[in-house]
């Protein structure tokens, strides 16, 4: 049997904080080129799943492979957009500088960013519609603008896989549309996007692939096949009814 | 100025700069108080180092003391990780214990040597010129100058080499980790540099005051700039300024040099805290007042636009109906008149054309809630900026 090309393959992954498992025996194959939502209730381990793919969280069992190799060997192929609240926005720097941080990975230790990196950052800012705010102190940006800056920073990493932790949290409808359009464009360019998502209503509209997660993996597959009340109920515990437009 | 005076000021200025560099990152990482812990617990390292080397000038002493500093950080983190106590409590548990071990060791075994508690707490900058380093037969200057000078060169080199990495891991640890810049390595690197710096500065300003040199200049600079590089430069400047002015204050008052330097750090911070152009107390107070009046003006103009009836537009109505006190009503009226937004005839207020336009634009801003709109509005209808 021939194996489908996949971006990320997770085998028997278990992560625990102290004795409490946060992720339990997850097996997951994420095909290349999908725009995938990870959905699940609070405490389901969605962020932890992303962090263990990135090696920020150490699993107690199991393995993660990125294009067939451990993440450590594929650092430059993966871009990460953390939750907006994970950093201190009072940090003394401007929007452009934060976006340039995305180029640090390819620069490596000691080497400084130069004109080339600045150009990349400006292009990314333009893509997310934030060019005019490039010199703005980051604390002076609105929540949606901060999220776009994070997205731009991931864009300059020019990765093959994008991992995003709740990019729509606390952003207005306009920004949400702008972000999803960029994500769809990235998918068209063959990138794989993995997004922790909360708003179940928009899953069928935004994503083509979905993973249901609640400590254990519930289901994973194309939205049109598996995004149904049955899986939602299994994931959220209560009898869930979502208006899925078909 | 005598040679000794010059030497003291030079040492103080170098200490200030050497402290400001790690200080900026400690303050931004919200770890300022860890410097307090390090500065106290290194005493044990110094004492133990002295027992081993029997020489207060040995570089091994500095090394052992710096190791104690890093051990302090590890202990604090270890206690904190158990989840049983919070970080500040963990700091408070670790350093007094280590410091007091140092105090007991000095009292028991080192009473006869030149290592006393006063000097530990306050430093002995005034004596620095008496302790020159002699190589062969030549006097190459005060020992402290060489120690702190070396540390400063190391700090500057590391800062220039790893500025990007320090910035990234301070701002976003998660991204640093995913890009392959180990935040743990950078964290302990910074802790080592801080420890070495504190040990070097310890000689000059003592355990308590070194904390002020690490925290106060960055805290002051943080109020003035949004740029990390400028924050570093300003921190160095404030440190040097406090060091030199503090020396002359001490000179005039015939008081402790380290004490005066720290007092100057406090004075500089207070001045900036009060008068900083953007974030200072007075400026914020003034801006908030302006904002309140501008909002009141908007409310008033919208009211005029909404009501054509004369009784709703009477000058006295402002007080009676909108329920504003006299002063506020007067300020708003004056501001509107000055900007040609309204005209008043027979005590009836009407919007001018410009007032009409302004109100429309403002309404658009309020309903669309676009941040850029208000900036443009401010540029075109400079209310207070005129």
Please state, in angstroms and rounded to a whole number, the distance separating the CA atoms of residues B257 and A242. Answer: 72
Please state, in angstroms and rounded to a whole number, the distance separating the CA atoms of residues A37 and B261. Answer: 58
- Write down the pLDDT at residue B378: 64
3-state secondary structure of A51: helix
Higher pLDDT, B347 or A11: A11
Q: How far is the CA of B381 from the CAs of B284, B364, B369, B376, B384, in angstroms?
A: 22, 15, 18, 9, 9
Residue A164 is assigned to a structural domain of this protein: yes
Long-range contacts (CB closer than 8 Å, 24 or more residues apart) made by B268-271: B268/B216, B268/B220, B268/B238, B268/B241, B268/B242, B269/B216, B269/B219, B269/B220
Residue A161 is assigned to a structural domain of this protein: yes
H-assigned helices in chain A: 46-53, 95-100, 104-107, 115-127, 143-156, 173-188, 203-206, 223-226, 229-236
Residue A197 is assigned to a structural domain of this protein: yes
B144-202 pLDDT, tens digit each: 888 899 999 999 999 999 999 999 999 999 899 888 899 999 999 999 999 999 988 88
> Is the Cβ–Cβ distance between B180 and A105 less than 8 Å?
yes
Say whether A109 and B165 touch across the interface (CB within 8 A).
Answer: yes
> Is the Cβ–Cβ distance between B140 and B133 less than 8 Å?
yes
Burial B146-166 (b: 16+ CB within 10 A, else e): ebbbbbbebbeebbeebebbb
Say whether A104 and B226 touch across the interface (CB within 8 A).
Answer: no
> Is the Cβ–Cβ distance between A225 and A209 less than 8 Å?
no
Residue A244 is assigned to a structural domain of this protein: no
Q: Mark the ranges of chain B whose per-residue pLDDT is less than 70.
A: 56-57, 110-121, 318-323, 326, 368-386
Choose the mutation target among B28, B167, B172, B175 for the interface with A, i.e. most A CBs under 10 Å: B175
Examine the pLDDT at A1 and tell me if it is beyond 60: no
Please state the domain count of chain A: 1
Please state, in angstroms and rounded to a whole number, the distance separating the CA atoms of residues B359 and B371. Answer: 17
Its pTM stands at 0.87
Q: Is B181 on the interface with A (CB under 8 A)?
A: yes
In order of their start, the domains of chain B are: 3-277 (1.10.3470.10), 282-380 (1.10.10.10)
Say whether A91 and B179 touch across the interface (CB within 8 A).
Answer: no
Residue A242 is assigned to a structural domain of this protein: no
**φ, ψ at B139 (rounded to 5°):** -85, 115
- Write down the pLDDT at residue A245: 44
A158-169 mean pLDDT? 91
Using an 8 Å CB-CB cutoff, list chain A residues near B177.
54-56
> Is the Cβ–Cβ distance between B182 and A122 less than 8 Å?
no
A33-54 pLDDT, tens digit each: 999 999 998 888 999 999 999 8
Examine the pLDDT at A93 and tell me if it is beyond 90: yes
Count the Cβ atoms, other than its own, within 10 Å of residue B83. 8
Residue A181 domain boundaries = 6-236
- Of all helices (H) and strands (E), which one includes residue A7? strand A6-17
Q: Give me A38's structure tokens.
A: 């990870």
Higher pLDDT, B158 or A237: B158
Question: What CATH number has the domain bearing residue A190?
Answer: 3.40.50.300
Residue A171 is assigned to a structural domain of this protein: yes
Examine the pLDDT at A21 and tell me if it is beyond 80: yes
State how far residue B156 is from chain A, nearest Cα, in angstroms.
Answer: 14
Residue A188 is assigned to a structural domain of this protein: yes
A50-68 pLDDT, tens digit each: 999 988 888 999 999 999 8
Examine the pLDDT at A240 and tell me if it is beyond 70: no
Say whether B168 and A88 touch across the interface (CB within 8 A).
Answer: no
Residue A229 is assigned to a structural domain of this protein: yes
Q: Which residues contact A129 (CB under 8 A, 6 or more apart)?
A: A148, A178
- Write down the pLDDT at residue B341: 81
Choose the mutation target among B178, B369, B372, B374 for the interface with A, i.e. most A CBs under 10 Å: B178
Using an 8 Å CB-CB cutoff, list chain B residues near A153.
175
């Amino acid at each position: 049997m021939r194996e489908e090309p996949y971006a990320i393959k997770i085998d028997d992954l278990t992560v625990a904080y102290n004795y409490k498992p946060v992720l339990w025996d997850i097996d997951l194959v994420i095909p290349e080129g999908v725009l995938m939502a990870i959905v699940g209730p609070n405490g389901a381990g969605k962020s932890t799943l992303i962090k263990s793919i990135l090696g920020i969280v150490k699993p107690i069992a199991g393995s993660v492979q990125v294009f067939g190799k451990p993440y450590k060997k594929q650092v430059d192929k993966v871009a990460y957009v953390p939750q907006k609240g994970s950093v201190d926005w009072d940090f003394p720097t401007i929007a452009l500088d934060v976006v340039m941080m995305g180029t640090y990975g390819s620069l490596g230790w000691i080497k400084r960013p130069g004109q080339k990196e600045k150009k990349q950052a400006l292009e990314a800012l333009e893509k997310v519609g934030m060019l005019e705010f490039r010199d703005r102190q980051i604390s002076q940006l609105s929540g949606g603008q901060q999220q776009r800056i994070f997205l731009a920073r991931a864009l300059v990493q020019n990765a093959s896989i994008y991992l995003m932790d709740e990019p729509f949290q606390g952003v207005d409808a306009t920004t949400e549309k702008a972000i999803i359009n960029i994500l769809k464009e990235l998918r068209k360019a063959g990138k794989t996007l993995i997004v922790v998502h909360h708003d179940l209503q928009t899953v069928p509209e935004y994503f083509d692939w979905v993973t249901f997660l609640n400590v254990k993996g519930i289901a994973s597959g194309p939205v049109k096949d598996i995004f149904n009340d049955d899986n939602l109920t299994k994931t959220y515990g209560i009898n869930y009814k979502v208006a899925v437009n078909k | 100025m005598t040679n000794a005076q010059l030497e003291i000021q030079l040492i103080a200025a170098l200490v200030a700069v050497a402290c400001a560099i790690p200080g900026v990152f400690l303050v931004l990482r919200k770890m300022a108080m860890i410097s307090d812990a390090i500065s106290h617990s290194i005493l044990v390292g110094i004492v133990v180092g002295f027992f081993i080397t029997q020489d207060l000038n040995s570089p091994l002493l500095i090394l052992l003391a710096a190791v104690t500093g890093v051990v302090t950080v590890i202990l604090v983190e270890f206690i904190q990780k158990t989840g049983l106590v919070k970080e500040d409590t963990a700091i408070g548990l670790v350093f007094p214990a280590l410091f007091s071990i140092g105090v007991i060791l000095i009292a028991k075994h080192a009473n006869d040597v030149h290592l006393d508690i006063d000097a530990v707490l306050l430093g002995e900058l005034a004596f620095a010129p008496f302790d020159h380093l002699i190589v062969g037969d030549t006097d190459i200057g005060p020992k402290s100058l060489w120690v702190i000078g070396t540390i400063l060169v190391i700090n500057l080199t590391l800062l220039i080499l790893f500025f990007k990495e320090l910035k990234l891991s301070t701002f976003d640890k998660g991204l640093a980790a995913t890009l392959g810049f180990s935040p743990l390595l950078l964290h302990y690197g910074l802790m080592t540099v801080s420890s070495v710096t504190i040990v070097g500065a310890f000689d000059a300003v003592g355990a308590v005051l070194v904390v002020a040199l690490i925290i106060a200049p960055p805290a002051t600079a943080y109020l003035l700039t949004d740029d990390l590089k400028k924050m570093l430069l300003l921190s160095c400047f404030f440190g040097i300024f406090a060091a030199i002015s503090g020396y002359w204050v001490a000179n005039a008052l015939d008081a402790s040099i380290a004490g005066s330097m720290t007092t100057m750090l406090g004075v500089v911070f207070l001045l900036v805290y009060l008068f900083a152009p953007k974030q200072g107390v007075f400026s914020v107070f003034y801006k908030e007042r302006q904002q309140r009046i501008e909002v009141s003006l908007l409310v008033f103009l919208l009211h005029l636009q909404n009501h054509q009836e004369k009784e709703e537009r009477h000058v006295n109505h402002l007080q009676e109906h909108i329920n504003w006190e006299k002063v506020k009503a007067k300020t708003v009226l004056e501001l509107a008149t000055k900007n040609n937004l309204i005209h008043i005839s027979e005590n009836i207020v009407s919007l001018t054309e410009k007032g009409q336009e302004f109100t429309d634009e403002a309404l658009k801003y309020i309903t669309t809630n676009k941040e850029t709109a208000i900036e443009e509005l401010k540029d075109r209808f400079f209310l207070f900026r005129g």
